[in-house]
Amino acid sequence: MDILKKLMGELVDIVEFLDDSHNTIVHRFERYQNEIKYGAKLVVRESQAAVFVDQGKIADVFGPGMYTLETSNIPILSTLRGWKYGFNSPFKAEVYFVSTRQFTDLKWGTQNPVMRRDPEFGPVRLRAFGSYAMRVVRPGDFVKQIAGTAARFTTDGITEQLRNIVVSRFADRLGESRIPLLDMAGNQDELGKMIGEAIKPEFDEYGLELTKLLVENISLPPEVEAALDKRSSMGIIGNLSAYSQFSAAEAMRDAAKNPGAAGQSMGMGMGFVMAQQMGAGLQGGGGGAGGGGAAGGPPPLPGGGFFVAINGQQAGPFDAGTLGEMAQTGRLTRESLVWKQGMANWAAAGTVGELGGVLGGVPPPLPPLPPQA
């Protein structure tokens, strides 16, 4: 087998690499004992570079084109090797073909949430992901810094390191940007440019160029998103009282379509609630003297209560329960003077609509007896 490899090495005098993959960055050209014939043809295609390494040192880098490997074309290598055989014998050198095309759709994303202080929502945890594109611009530096002596080096061998760089700079720039949480979606392009500018020097150390970086999504934890959705829903609803009345009307319509007893009961109950809400809206909270309530009865007494004139003295304020007991014992009658905050003057209790429910069970005074014949 070794003899066959040696014979093939003597016969083959074309050094080239046809890449049938989509992720190979560096490929080492394999020859028997790394021997290359003097005068061999080197073919470097577009989006490729050929790096010659001699005894662990980079000797020459060839761009796209066809070369005859002679002393005039490889002056650095000829100086290193000496060529004591008159430049006609095979020479040993490792040849690495480096792809200089753009590698696109490389993914990055945060493994753990990034803590950020938002001016409106306070501390929040954010996750983000996106993609980026890069290419090799200095093949010699890339082989020396990253690829080393690997026979084949793919994007899988470096994307983890590059992803860590992107995520680290993303966290820094996200905090420095001070972009409000609700404005993140409208500033993803700007944020991507900021991150790209921050990490370009670190890519450059490896002989790489970052050609594009995209922030595709910035998301919140599910529980925070649910709370934000509720807040948005409340903002869309607007007037909660009007929305409640509308919902009650919709429920009445749906209940009316149900002929069963349950549907009728629900329809009656929702109608009663609807009537109360509409009555409260029409009355508008007025409670002055002589002010009557809605047709179904006055609204409940407010927490402030009424003052009552008893034996020429002001007493109170009394709540609804106390006023009811006073009406049953005769201490509060329809002729009793009452007053509460918002009334212009004292008025007879029988003329105040809000006290109709309190005095409803108390009969009016008896009329005077007719004169005896």
Phi (first) and psi of residue 53, to 5 degrees: -120, 125
Decide if 67 contacts 20 (C-beta within 8 A): no
Peptide bond into 222 cis (omega under 30): no
Positive or negative torsion for Cα 179, 176, 216, 129: negative
- For residue 7, the model assigns a pLDDT of 43
The string over 189-221, giving b where at least 16 C-beta atoms fall within 10 Å of a residue's C-beta and e elsewhere, is eebbebbbebbeebbeebbbbbbebbbeebebe
Question: Do 151 and 247 reside in the same domain of the chain?
Answer: no
Phi (first) and psi of residue 257, to 5 degrees: -75, -15
Q: Using CA atoms, how far apart are residues 77 and 59, in angstroms rounded to an integer?
A: 5
Question: Do 87 and 152 reside in the same domain of the chain?
Answer: no
Question: Do 86 and 135 reside in the same domain of the chain?
Answer: no
Q: Work out the pLDDT band at 366, boundaries 50, 70, 90.
A: low
- For residue 34, the model assigns a pLDDT of 59
With H, G, I as helix, E, B as strand and everything else as coil, classify residue 271.
helix
Q: Has residue 33 been placed in a domain? A: yes
Which of 99, 130, 165 is a domain's end point? 99
Decide if 321 contacts 357 (C-beta within 8 A): no
pLDDT at 89 over 90: no
Token pair, residue 113, equals 């949430």
Q: Work out the pLDDT band at 183, boundaries 50, 70, 90.
A: confident
Among residues 198, 162, 163, which one has the least CA distance to residue 177? 198
Question: Do 117 and 142 reside in the same domain of the chain?
Answer: yes
pTM strictly above 0.85: no
Question: Do 125 and 202 reside in the same domain of the chain?
Answer: yes
- For residue 101, the model assigns a pLDDT of 92
Q: Using CA atoms, how far apart are residues 29 and 76, in angstroms rounded to an integer?
A: 20
Q: Has residue 80 been placed in a domain? A: yes
Residue type for position 205: E
Q: Has residue 178 been placed in a domain? A: yes
Question: Do 316 and 256 reside in the same domain of the chain?
Answer: no
Question: Do 220 and 108 reside in the same domain of the chain?
Answer: yes
Question: Do 117 and 221 reside in the same domain of the chain?
Answer: yes
**Highest averaged pLDDT of the listed ranges 25-29, 216-220, 287-291, 355-359:** 25-29
Q: Has residue 364 been placed in a domain? A: no
pLDDT at 190 over 90: no
CATH number for 353: 3.30.1490.40
Question: Do 162 and 136 reside in the same domain of the chain?
Answer: yes
Q: Has residue 290 been placed in a domain? A: no
Q: Which domain holds residue 244?
A: 240-283
Q: Which residue has the tokens 């006290």?
A: 355
Residue type for position 107: K
Question: Do 135 and 181 reside in the same domain of the chain?
Answer: yes
Q: Has residue 42 been placed in a domain? A: yes
Q: Work out the pLDDT band at 97, boundaries 50, 70, 90.
A: very high
Question: Do 121 and 79 reside in the same domain of the chain?
Answer: no
- Read off the pLDDT of each residue in 282-299 and give the average, rounded to a whole number: 45
With the CA atoms of 246, 247, 248 and 252 taken in that order, what torsion angle do they form, in degrees rounded to the nearest 10?
Answer: 100
With H, G, I as helix, E, B as strand and everything else as coil, classify residue 98.
strand
Q: Has residue 150 been placed in a domain? A: yes
Question: Do 174 and 259 reside in the same domain of the chain?
Answer: no
pLDDT at 235 over 80: no
Q: Using CA atoms, how far apart are residues 78 and 80, in angstroms rounded to an integer?
A: 5
Question: In the chain, how many domains are there?
Answer: 4
Residue type for position 44: V
Q: Using CA atoms, how far apart are residues 335 and 112, in angstroms rounded to an integer?
A: 76
Please report which helix (H) or strand (E) contains residue 129, including its range. Answer: strand 122-136
Token pair, residue 52, equals 């010659």
Alpha-helix residue ranges (DSSP H) falling in 154-187: 159-177
Q: Using CA atoms, how far apart are residues 153 and 293, in angstroms rounded to an integer?
A: 87
Q: Which residue has the tokens 């009969």?
A: 363
Which of 99, 129, 144 is a domain's end point? 99
- Nearest 5°: the CA angle 188, 200, 164 is 75
Q: Which residue has the tokens 């995520």?
A: 167
pLDDT tens digits for range 101-158: 999 989 999 888 888 888 777 888 888 999 999 999 999 999 888 877 778 888 888 8
pLDDT tens digits for range 26-77: 998 876 665 777 778 889 999 999 998 877 788 889 999 998 877 566 655 5
Sheet of strand 306-310: strand arrangement: 313-318, 306-310, 337-339, 347-348
> Residue 214, Cα to own-chain centre: how many angstroms?
15
Pairing, β 14-15 against β 41-44: parallel
Q: Has residue 233 been placed in a domain? A: no
Q: Inter-axis angle of helices 222-237 and 240-256, to 10 degrees?
A: 90
